[in-house]
Amino acid sequence: MGNDPPSSGVRLDHLLWGAGGLLAGAWWVKNQADEAKKSRAEHDDPDGTATICKEVAPILDCWEPEQYDCEDDYADDLYQFLCDEYVDDPDSSGEDIDLRPDTCQGVPDILIDDRLVLEVKVNPNKAERDRLLGQWAGYSREWVTWVVLIDTPSYRVRELEELLTTKGLEQILVFAFS
């Protein structure tokens, strides 16, 4: 009797295995959900897509947009900046940047190496943000999708990020420029 475990009816090792099983199950479910949110580009070439994103993000951070009258002018300026800084850089993997390509998913502003879409928007109002969710969701099935916001107040940027998360589109990144 001296070495017998207390007789509470529940064995500690079973509890630990049960808790471990729950954690493993939760991890598996989350991993499956994360996999389902990946774009076709990420599934087809995960390393190449990750490399492009790692190379483009700091270039995008360095972009300093001038003041323009319309959204298309901002997209044109960003396109030219990316051509100069990404495609023309011998150290980058950049090969192809398309401005407003006609695709089966629509016409994204900028498509980089058939893996990354940049969608440029100037201070979109609530109705426009709501309408764009479907467009961005479609793009994100095919490519990694980033939204480039121009002259958008920080509270609206937060609202958009929260809306993307609420709709299960948190994989769409938002870059804001003032």
Predicted confidence (pLDDT) per residue in 84-101, tens digit: 988 766 666 657 899 999
pLDDT confidence tier of residue 160, bands split at 50, 70 and 90: very high
What is 47-111 written as a DSSP string? HHHHHHHHHHHHHHHH------SSHHHHHHHHHHHHIIIIIT-TTS----EEES--BTTB--SEE
**Which of 16-30, 66-80, 105-119 comes out lowest in average pLDDT?**
16-30
Is 112 part of any domain?
yes
Host domain of residue 90: 39-177
Any idea what the CATH number is for the domain that residue 129 is in? 3.40.50
pTM exceeding 0.75 = yes
CB atoms within 10 A of CB 54: 10
Question: Rounded mean pLDDT of the chain?
Answer: 84
Number of domains comprising the chain: 1
Is 17 part of any domain?
no
